[in-house]
Chain A
Amino acid sequence: MIFDTMMVIALCILMLAILANLYRVVKGPSGADRVQALDTIGINLIASIGVFSVLLHTHAFFDLILLIGILSFIGTVAFARFIERGVVIERKR
């Protein structure tokens, strides 16, 4: 019972962290700020999926941890290339 309460408290703290990052996504003056905050939101989502699978006592969501990690990394690198060069995939010369 106390254990479940601690897990719910951890989920609430993670949601507060996601809300703070969402403030930076809305307000951030440059594009890199917004992409960095979105990447951090993805990482916090990974942590909250881990806490949620402990709370529900199931193994079914461990694939999602790997999947969200890969998708968040690919999206961040694509946006960084877009900010830096203007294109994501360059043409062969």
Chain B
Amino acid sequence: MSGSGEVVGAVLILFGAVVSLISAIGVVRLPDVYTRSHAASKSSTLGVLCALVGTLLYFIITDGYFSIRLILGIFFVFLTAPVAAHVLCRSAYRNQVPLAEGTTEDELQDYYMENEKDDAGNKLNLSIEMDKGPNP
């Protein structure tokens, strides 16, 4: 058991866990889908990357075991988590989920009214309102 390797792994893993907790607090507290997706995708990806790199370094330093599977897992999570958040936000926007109450400008709406068409070829009629109700 070497002491310094354990310290590097443990610090990275604790940092990753704390960043994941901050991301979860953002998911609970932010006002609409898009800001929540912002918090959930970016910071929880960073958190899981730090935790997995800490795991990898721990096994390299203490055992001398270099895991290709763990490298593949890190690479895959890094590649796919932002893509999943993008696809979800696009589906929410096309489904007319309301924006948060304080939003002042929605630049995507003009673009979508001009350029996007639905499956039958008709122009989309997007009318996304600001959220007037009590804040969820």
Is there an interface contact between A69 and B44, defined as CB atoms closer than 8 Å?
no
Q: Is the CB of B17 within 8 A of A51?
A: yes
Q: With a CB–CB cut-off of 8 A, which chain A residues contact B65?
A: 59
**Residues of B65-104 whose CB lies within 8 A of A:** 65, 67, 69-70, 72-73, 76-77, 80-81, 83-85, 87-92, 94-95, 97
Within the complex, what minimum Cβ distance (angstroms) separates A55 from chain B? 10
Which has the most chain B C-beta neighbours within 10 Å: A11, A24, A37, A40?
A40
Residue among B6, B17, B24, B73 making CB contact with A3, cutoff 8 Å: B6
Does B113 have its Cβ within 8 Å of any Cβ on chain A?
no
Give chain B's interface residue range (CB within 8 Å of chain A): 35 or more
> Shortest CB–CB separation between residue B90 and chain A, in angstroms?
7
* B20 lies within 8 A of A33 (CB): no
The residues of B that contact A85 with a CB separation of less than 8 Å are 119
Interfacial chain A residues near B83, Cβ < 8 Å: 73, 77
Complex Cα gap A23–B30 (Å) = 13
Given A30-B97, A36-B36 in contact, is the A69-B84 Cβ separation under 8 Å? no
By a CB distance below 8 angstroms, the chain A residues around B136 are: 27-29
A35 close to B88 (CB less than 8 A):
yes
Determine how close the nearest CB of chain B comes to the CB of A87; give it in whole angstroms.
Answer: 10
Set of chain A residues within 8 Å of B28, measured between Cβ atoms: 20, 23-24
Query: Contacts A20-B27, A24-B27 hold; do A47 and B10 have CB atoms under 8 A apart?
Result: no
Show 12 residue pairs from A and B whose CB-CB distance is below 8 angstroms, ordered by the A residue.
A3-B6, A17-B21, A32-B95, A36-B36, A37-B40, A47-B16, A50-B48, A51-B51, A54-B9, A54-B13, A73-B76, A80-B91
